[in-house]
Amino acid sequence: MNTIADTKWFLQFNGQVQGPFNQDTLQVTIQSLGETNSEQALVWKRGLVEWVKANKWQASDYKHLQSTTAVPEDGDTHTHAHGENDPDLFEKTFNHSFTEGVFYRVQVNFVDQPLMSKAELMTLIAKQQDVSKVSIQDPNTKEWKEVYAFPDIVERLGLSRRKQPRVPILAQFTGKSNKNPEVSYRVITISQGGMGFTENYDLKIGDEVEGQISSPHFFQSINVKADVIYAGQDGYIGLKFSIIPDEAKAAIIEYIKKFGKNSVNTPS
């Protein structure tokens, strides 16, 4: 029977998988990464369904999952409980673990980002002015794909290929929601199709707001009604306009055009 010290661990950092390590070697390797990097690194072993953040890893926590030698009734001692002598089985288990762990390799403008969970990926995409700059590696095929190749993300965020650039704005929303008769939120992004709030933890996906957007960039406040289609753990809320008068849409379009002339960061 293998001991916990003999368990084979794998370390994933900056998109690269290293290992196998035994318990002591992995501990030293994690310590050498430093506090910041260990928060981004992940560890895994056979028997785990998901990758574990390196800074949270303690070998003793996974003692019950250590690999053991199984002895079937026919006396065949060459078969191991977790397929340690079966490379194909190990590969399937390894890939399945990665997928179930929902950690993705992501690039923005072809620059590698830290490995992120699906929730972190959704937050990143929701804040992008131009999602075409984001590439995601498919955990199954290892191919790099655009955001629109992931239907669940597109549907969840209400994304569209239509040319509706999302741009930063200094604005305030006041009105009501389906939860509160009086609300006031800071608007930090806007497009023809919707807007984004920040520092908001009370709204959830499916909630509705109705009221006015006020900004020094508009001659007068504009009336809108919108549905929450994204709620990030960091307080960022994405909304899609359900009702917006033509004059309000015209004011937003005019602002986007002016912003585009004065900012190199606006998508072309």
Residues, the chain: 268
Q: Sketch the domain layout of the chain as residue ranges.
A: 4-101, 103-157, 167-262
pLDDT of residue 83: 38
Chain-centroid distance of CA 224 in Å reads 29
The pTM of this model reads 0.46
Distance in angstroms (rounded) separating the CA atoms of residues 268 and 257: 10
Q: Is the pLDDT of residue 173 over 90?
A: yes
CATH code for residues 167-262: 2.40.10.220
Per residue in 204-238, pLDDT (tens digit) is 888 999 999 999 999 899 999 999 888 877 788 88
pLDDT of residue 186: 94
Residue 6's pLDDT band, with cuts at 50, 70 and 90, is low
Angle at 126 between CA 132 and CA 162, to 5 degrees: 45
Distance in angstroms (rounded) separating the CA atoms of residues 226 and 193: 9
Element (H, E) at 123: helix 118-126
Contact 194, 228 (CB under 8 A): no
pLDDT of residue 243: 93
| pLDDT (average), residues 98-112 | 71
User: Residue 118's closest CA among 103, 98, 96, 107?
Assistant: 103
Per residue in 109-140, pLDDT (tens digit) is 878 888 888 878 888 888 887 787 888 988 77
Distance in angstroms (rounded) separating the CA atoms of residues 137 and 146: 9
How far from 218 is each of 51, 169, 252, CA to CA, in Å? Answer: 48, 11, 8
Query: Three-state DSSP class for 227?
Result: strand
In the chain, the percentage of residues whose pLDDT exceeds 70 is 73
How far from 76 is each of 70, 80, 87, 91, 175, CA to CA, in Å? Answer: 9, 10, 18, 23, 72
Per residue in 42-80, pLDDT (tens digit) is 888 776 767 788 888 865 555 444 443 333 333 333 333
